[in-house]
Amino acid sequence: MVAGLAGGLVALAAGSALAAGGDLGAVDKQPVNVSAIAMFLAFVVMTLGITYWAASRTKSTADFYTAGGGISGFQNGLAIAGDYMSAATLLGLSSLVFAKGYDGFVYTISFFVGWPIILFLLAERLRNLGHFTFADIASYRLDQNKIRSFAAIGSLTVVCFYLIVQMVGAGQLIKLLFGLDYNVAVVVVGVLMVVYVTFGGMIATTWVQIIKAVLLLGGGAMLAFLALSRFGFSLEAIAKSAVASHKDGIKIMGPGTLLADPVSAVSLSLGLLFGTAALPHIMMRFFTVPNAREARKSVFVASGFIGFFFLLVCILGMAAITIVGTDPQFFEGGKVGGKLIGGGNMPVMHLAKALGGDLFLGFLSAVAFATILAVVSGLALAGASAIAHDLYARVIRKGQATEREEMRVSKIASLVLGVLAVVLGIAFEKQNVAFLVGLTFGIAASVNFPVLILSMYWKGLTTRGALAGGLAGLVSAVTMVVLSNAVWVVVLNNPAPIFPYEHPALFSMTLAFLVTIVVSKLDRSAGAQAERGAYDDQFVRSQTGIGAAAASNH
């Protein structure tokens, strides 16, 4: 987000970067934070030790992609929470509450509501039908080569766009919190990502995510405890003090102007709801547990931790209105109400310094950066699995590749993705990448989700329908984002946008569903009849788990 609060809100409203670590925009470089760097190095050493341990346990493709299905529901729930909670969530949403009060709280909740959909519609069937990737489910009764190729392209598109956002966010976060150079941060993240994924696979990635989640939850809870202690542990007292301290007074306790346009609000909501459910690195997590029961437990646990974290973020944002917002030491030139030192995303960090001193600020800074490592590792693993499992092993080698060959391709793909992520992260340093977040969720919601949900729930889906609908969703989502204000005006410097909304999901996802259904209905080929006839077998397996991939590691 651009330096200053107004720019921060623009970037926040521009998309769901917050959902899994996103664009922090141009930020102010801070003095070198020695304590933060020391704590981050301690985290790196610990996670490299875990990677060394995980490498000895990663013997097969099942171990590499899904930790052998041996992760418990509780552990997987924590790992999912670690994948979802982010530095941008902590910094961005707390700053939004700091600036807008109740509006920020409502906006925060919007990032949580997709989880019931995953719990009730997807978790159990994902585990029963899938093996390593989302393409396993989409191609269960459809043409393997065509659907796997298309699913891999869709997944890689989402992964690459999201990696750009993460790498740019990493560089900006380092400047903001550590005082180090942008390129240094991008290279460090890229190298660590490749090490985690290439040597430790899903086992190492899972434990990095779990440790990061525990640290983030623990740090957030401790900071909230310290903040509440200032107000007699009374939320009412925090609210009254915030109203008295904020320049907008009582207005912060009511809805305001964020996403006032109902079309934009609905489109963003749909992108968050269904895009979250269709993110490749989120879906992969459901194949790491031994059965459907543990998959449901994963979502339940993740929902609890994520919901708790978002409530903490709201408390921190409200407390910062009084503790940070009235203290001259946190404003440039000591002018209360002016520009915050470090930019508009810093309220929670200033709150940490006010309540816990430089040591606690260093800890929270290190944890914030560690969150990006967890997210990019999951993304890299999802991309590597799409290349090695779907494209190489199933499409190119027609299922004849050995495990050794597939593992080798997976590790090469991880290395290539790591190099690509670093190169793109450096190339996009000066670009406003907020539009990539909207595009990422728009593509996931428009390309992956319609095919995924219809393949599981609609007997009439055919290969032709899935390909036509997925292609329509992909092209329309990309086109709408390019023609929107975020790209057409901000990036390409045209006077006015052709497409008037920032978020494409309402239109592109609807088009994808419509084209998929119409083309499937019109498909009278012999192959289509066979695909419809195979639905009953798929339905039985999705409900009972009979024939589902078993865990190889407990």
Q: Which domains does the chain have, with CATH numbers?
A: 31-441 (1.20.1730.10)
| Residue 321 φ/ψ, nearest 5 degrees | -55, -40
Q: In the structure encoding, which two tokens stand for residue 360, read together?
A: 């606690």
Using alpha carbons, select from 109, 126, 107, 106 the residue that is nearest to residue 118: 126
3 state DSSP class of 233: coil
The residue-averaged pLDDT of 113-118 equals 75
- In a 13 Å sphere around the CA of 193, the CA atoms on its Cβ side amount to 35
Distance between CA atoms of 426 and 449, rounded to whole angstroms? 31
- SS3 for 443-477 is HHHHHHHHHHHHHHHCCCCCHHHHHHHHHHHHHHH
- The lowest-confidence range among 216-225, 430-439, 519-528 is 430-439
Contact 551, 70 (CB under 8 A): yes
Least confident residue range of 23-37, 124-138, 207-221, 400-414: 23-37
Helix axes 201-229, 235-245, angle to 10 degrees: 80
Instruction: State the pLDDT confidence band at 237, using cuts at 50, 70 and 90.
Output: very high
What single string gives the DSSP state of each residue in 47-111? HHHHHHHHHTT--SHHHHHHGGG---HHHHHHHHHHHH--HHIIIIIHHHHHHHTHHHHHHHHHT
Distances in whole angstroms, Cα of residue 43 to Cα of each of 433, 439, 488: 28, 32, 41
Rounded mean pLDDT, 180-196: 88
Q: How confident is the model at residue 542 (pLDDT cuts 50, 70, 90)?
A: confident
Q: What is the pLDDT of residue 17?
A: 37
What pLDDT is recorded for position 218?
Answer: 94
Please, are residues 167 and 188 in contact by the beta-carbon 8 Å criterion? no
Q: Which residue has the higher pLDDT, 111 or 1?
A: 111
Backbone phi, psi, residue 340, to 5°? -70, 140
Q: Are 65 and 381 in contact (CB under 8 A)?
A: yes
Among 262-266, 313-317, 470-474, which stretch is predicted with the lowest mean pLDDT?
262-266
Average pLDDT over residues 232-249: 92
pLDDT digits 0-9 by tens, 484-534: 888 898 888 899 999 998 889 999 999 999 999 999 999 999 999 999 999
Q: What is the pLDDT of residue 476?
A: 95
Q: What is the C-alpha to C-alpha distance for residues 94 and 87, in angstroms, rounded to an integer?
A: 11
Which residues, 6 or more positions from 533, have their beta carbon under 8 angstroms from its beta carbon?
none
pLDDT at residue 114 greater than cutoff 60: yes
Q: What is the pLDDT of residues 261-302, one digit of tens each?
A: 788 878 888 888 888 888 888 888 888 999 888 988 998 999
Phi, psi of 331 (to 5 degrees): -115, 145
Q: State the pLDDT at residue 10.
A: 32
Q: What is the pLDDT of residues 75-95, one digit of tens each?
A: 999 999 888 887 767 888 888
- 18, pLDDT greater than 50: no
More confident residue, 175 or 17: 175
- Does residue 68 or residue 397 have the better pLDDT? 397
Tell me what pLDDT residue 305 has: 93
Mean pLDDT on 106-124 = 76
- Answer whether residue 420 shows pLDDT above 80: yes
- pLDDT for 258: 67
Q: Which residue type sits at 183?
A: N
Predicted local distance difference test score (pLDDT) of residue 34:
83
Q: What is the pTM of this model?
A: 0.84
Q: What is the pLDDT of residue 4?
A: 32
DSSP string, 154-197: HHHHHHHHHHHHHHHHHHHHHHHHT---HHHHHHHHHHHHHHII
